[in-house]
Structure 1
Amino acid sequence: MRFNYREVNPGAFQAMLKFDQFANSVDIDPILRELIKIRVSQLNGCAFCIDSHTRDARKIGESEQRIYLLNAWRETTLFSAQEKAALHLAEAMTRISEHGLTDEVYEQARAHYNEKQIIDLIMIINVINSWNRIGVSMQLDPGQNK
């Protein structure tokens, strides 16, 4: 870790915790929330968050097989169409500078989620992207996550 950002700026850390608490309280399946967090963390290269959220997913019943195949979710039938729509949204939002959020991705999400749920998904995706940027910037080590 570069430095203890929690101690240096506790207000910033508390703001992130509040954002995280909100995202964890939305009406989206807890396993799907963890899958989104893992996939976004994979895309952003945040080892600390991948470690944390794979452990969290296992604790609530996610299978090792689905965790291992998450980076290839398009190529497997292990994920439902609804989960795939959310994962597609998560990838598009994480890589938003590349193509924006296309109508195709939005309509796929809209086929499975109502407007409130789409906002809930967007909040989950935003908070994990924020945590990833903190984790990568601060060089957080999964070994510190025990």
Structure 2
Amino acid sequence: MIVDVPLGKDPIEYVWGEMVPGIGGAAATLSLKVYSDSTLGLREFEAARLRIAQINGCLFCQDWRTERDGQVVEETFDESVREWRTTDAFDERTRLAAEYAELFATDHHSIDDDFWKRMLAEYDQREVVELSMCLGSWLSFGRLNRVLGLDTACVLPSHR
């Protein structure tokens, strides 16, 4: 970790809450709302989230599994996300979520009309906007935590 955290302080709460309370509090609210308010299906949500986590290298994010109503994705889901192009474990929406996440994070300039045609055949415009906001949150906050070295100390406040 590159940030000096006072002894006895939770690194995430200190960095996000005390170091930059105005920005950090707003960022934390957005981060938590992505999980609490998303209407996307669990598998497509997790495929996109995990693909961003893999690209960011965020250790915590790669280990995390979102739970909804007692449901989580299967133990091997992260392997399927890595192999999103060829896995038989994904339907088209889930595969597109992983593909969009990868493009969003690594080559957004290559998102072309062909991609949007395929995407909009499976997702309505509201879902595309929601997924885009989720991707933006995961990309920025997961990368922030990884770059600052917080990913080894990260525990979401609602999951303590």
Q: Structure 1 residues 61, 40: CA separation in 2 closer, same or farther (over 3 Å shift)?
A: same
Q: What are the Cα deviations for residues 45-78 of structure 1, in whole angstroms up to 9, with x where unaligned?
A: 1112212x23x35963210122222101111110
Letter in 2 for 1:46: C
Q: Secondary structure at the match of 1:75?
A: coil
Letter in 2 for 1:44: N
Does the 8 Å CA contact 1:88/1:105 hold for their aligned counterparts?
no
Q: Does 1:26 align with 2:38?
A: yes
Greater Cα radius of gyration, structure 1 or 2: 2
Structure (1/2) with the larger helix percentage? 1
Q: Structure 1 residues 118, 91: CA separation in 2 closer, same or farther (over 3 Å shift)?
A: same
Q: Structure 1 residues 128, 144: CA separation in 2 closer, same or farther (over 3 Å shift)?
A: closer
1:15 to 15, 26, 39: 26
What is the TM-score with the length of structure 1 in the denominator? 0.84
1:110 to 106, 110, 120: 120
State the match for 1:139 in structure 2.
149
How far apart are residue 9 of structure 1 and its match?
0.8
Q: Larger relative contact order (C-alpha < 8 A, sep ≥ 6)?
A: 1
Q: Does 1:48 align with 2:60?
A: yes
Seq. identity, % = 23
5+ unaligned residues in a row in structure 2: which ranges?
4-13
Q: Does 1:2 align with 2:10?
A: no
State the match for 1:96 in structure 2.
107
